[in-house]
Amino acid sequence: LVTEDVTVVEGEVATISCRVKNSDDSVIQLLNPNRQTIYFKDFRPLKDSRFQLVNFSNSELRVSLTNVSISDEGRYFCQLYTDPPQEIYTTMTVLVPPRNLMIDIQKDIATEGEEIELNCTAMASRPATTIRWFKGNKELPGKSEVEQWSDMFTVTSQLLLTVGREDDGVPVICLVDHPAVKDLQTQRYLEVMCEY
């Protein structure tokens, strides 16, 4: 028996494949993490219509699962009714992109030479998000805190920035590194008042 682990973004489609190297027409079956039978050959005893048969033959049972949720995560078992029976498992990992990304700036207008605090929060992702800060195109070090709530993570990163007059109108960008999203970022423009 051969299978691969599956990583899928919440709400998308996962495909689980159980393949047999040298088939002797033995029955292939797929079980969920609670060891309930999802498919026995091409028949689905499980009353969850999100599971659909993609391919069934002597050498493969391939099943898709639509609208994946976190509760679908875990080990799925491929079984082959040989003598003795064979079993292997595949692990499904569900990724959740951060819900929203917000920059909170301590004050809207800063005075040159002043240190201001910016916080960027990425809500409810899985795994925890990595937050990176940029001023214009220069990366700056922030300090992140991770809060876990059930199986989701909220990350807040703090950036302390001493502003100069050259920073007026420059964007500060909070960018997310996460396997479930590409190019998620938000920005705020600095407003710096000069003291004459």
Total domains in the chain come to 2
The pLDDT confidence band at residue 68, using thresholds 50, 70 and 90, is very high
Q: Do 117 and 172 touch, CB atoms closer than 8 A? A: no
Confidence check: pLDDT of 99 > 70: yes
CA 174 to each of CA 89, 153, 157, 177, 184: distance values in angstroms, whole numbers, following the listed order: 39, 17, 9, 10, 9
Residue 39 lies in domain: 6-95
* Average pLDDT value for the chain: 94
Q: Judge whether 1 lies within some domain.
A: no
| pLDDT tens by residue, 141-150 | 999 999 999 8
| pLDDT tens by residue, 150-159 | 889 999 999 9
One domain for residues 78 and 127 = no
One domain for residues 59 and 79 = yes
Q: How high is the pLDDT of residue 151?
A: 87
End position of a domain, from candidates 39, 74, 95: 95
CATH number of the domain enclosing 181 = 2.60.40.10
